[in-house]
Amino acid sequence: MVAIDVKITAPFALGDVPTVVETDGGEISLWLRAGAFRGELPAHPRRLRLVEVPSADDAVPVVLDRGEAAGAPTGTVVDVEALFEHGVDIPETGRLELQIRWGCCHHHDEDEPRAEGEEGRRFGSFEHIECAAWVGRDAAGEPLGFGGIDCEIDARTKLEVGGKQLTFGQIIALAGDFYAHYDDDAARDFEWAWPNLHGLTGWLAGDYRAATLVSDTVGVSRDILDIVERDRKISRSTAGEFAALALDAVTTNYPARRYLALASQNMCHFASQPSTGQIDDERNLALRLYRAYHARAIALARQARTTPQSRMGLKAAFACDAFGCHFLTDIFASGHMRVPRRELNEQFGILRGALRMANAMHGEDNHLGLWCVARGLGPPGRRTVWRAFGDGRLQRDEARAHLARVQAAVRSSVAEVFAAWCDLPTGEPQAEDHVPVPLRPGDGPGTQDVVEGDADPATRNHYPMFWLLADGRIARRDGGPERAEYVVLNGGERKTFA
């Protein structure tokens, strides 16, 4: 027998983690209880790898990372994806101590090939800025106006946000990824959108949601935007921008730990729609949060209409709407459409559910894309379909039709706020009408459909990596994206989805 002593730590309590240890005598499955294992193995251990799901014959009750106590990261730093995909070597002594890192794995050059499914965690910040290219325009591309009143805003207009002068697109980019809330009122009224953290609190030395865009200093937001502008052609993912913020000597202002906490708890960035092609607005936390900010912006615009500084109040309404449009635009990322983000986190914890399982499905759906229809547009019986892509891909030729859809939604949102200020109807579709609804797995454009963009109409939507069942359990796809065969993780039975 050979002694082994393994300890994996993170800023959050790990709970029980299934692993595979490669030994001289073959692979052995074992549990790391609270992230640790000390004992003996029948052969010399060589390599350790985390797995998402324990072996079928090891159905041991699992304790998730829900403890109140903060984790205490110690040992060699290892990226969470590498720990799942490749594992790490075990020293000859048999003693291994690691601490989890996530969110800043790579900093890509534009010409550097990306692995399949590797597209960053969300729309990159510059992509979010580009989503606002049409604000202040009407559907024909002309300056927006109602009843002879001009909007007097465009993508370059600076809006006052707590002493900071920011464009509509810059506010979209900063929202959600770098700030949980717009201001203190939003932190109070929209607290439901971001969960309380258990375990990360001590590591953060405060509440990861506490710093709002309005209250934070000019220097922090300016440093973030400087990195976004400087590296927009180098890295198109928010994770890449974070890596620069954390490691680049240009800035020491941005609190990197807050970004990591936001990334691990970002359920409100996901639509999480059923894989059946149906619509479920209750589960669509991103849409619910956009609606909350949009309703507040509409109310601010109507209130401003009757004040002496009416135009200033209108700009304040636009700034509030811009923050909400971050979550509107996230709905358009293909990797945010179907991932059962909240359920994976709740059932499998932060390490496996959020940082591994949700992120893996997110990356695959972003990379492969999804055929979609707009939820409120198009004549009955004749669909207009286009292929949506996700984070890091909006500036590519294959995503031009999709980018236009996102820009149209943001433009419509601004038009609705301006129309409320004018006390007039917009006379055009609302922002929500543009929201994509992914077609069912195995479905694609039909012979009667109108196809936008250059994607191959012969392709079909792939089957999701994880399928949320009606009873709340999660099923994992058994094989490649074209397979409809699934294994239920909380039970083991097999299912086929036609």
Query: Where are the chain's structural domains?
Result: 2-101, 125-462, 463-498
Report in angstroms the alpha-carbon separations of 188 from 141, 208, 253, 393. 37, 14, 26, 35
Whether residue 150 is predicted with pLDDT greater than 90 in this model: the reply is yes
Q: What is the pLDDT of residue 266?
A: 94
Q: How far is CA 299 from CA 58, 244, 468, in A?
A: 55, 38, 36
Q: Is the pLDDT of residue 252 over 90?
A: no
Q: Which range is least confidently modeled, 184-193, 225-234, 271-280, 463-472? A: 225-234
First-to-last CA distance in the chain? 49
Tell the residue number behind the tokens 């300056």, with chain if given.
143
Strand order in the sheet with 95-101: 36-41, 2-9, 95-101, 76-79
The residue among 315, 317, 272 whose CA lies nearest residue 294 is 317
Instruction: Collapse the DSSP code of 449 into the 3-class scheme (helix H, G, I; strand E, B; otherwise coil) and give the result.
Output: coil
How would you classify the pairing of strands 450-452 and 436-438? Answer: unpaired
pLDDT at 107: 31
β-bridge mates for residue 437, sequence order: 373
Provide the pLDDT for residue 342.
95
DSSP output for 164-229: EEE-HHHHHHHBTTTBS-SSHHHHHHTGGGSPPPSSSHHHHTS-TT---TTTS-HHHHHHHHHHHH
Can you tell me the distance from the alpha carbon of 19 to that of 50, in angstroms, rounded to the nearest whole number? 4
**pLDDT exceeds cutoff 60 at 195:** yes
* pLDDT over 80 (residue 61): no
pLDDT band for position 110 (50/70/90)?
very low
Closest among 125, 318, 103 to 223, alpha carbons compared: 125
Whole-structure pTM value: 0.91
Distance in angstroms (rounded) separating the CA atoms of residues 303 and 301: 5
Average pLDDT, stretch 462-468?
A: 97
* Among the listed residues 375, 434, 379, the one whose alpha carbon sits nearest the alpha carbon of residue 402: 434
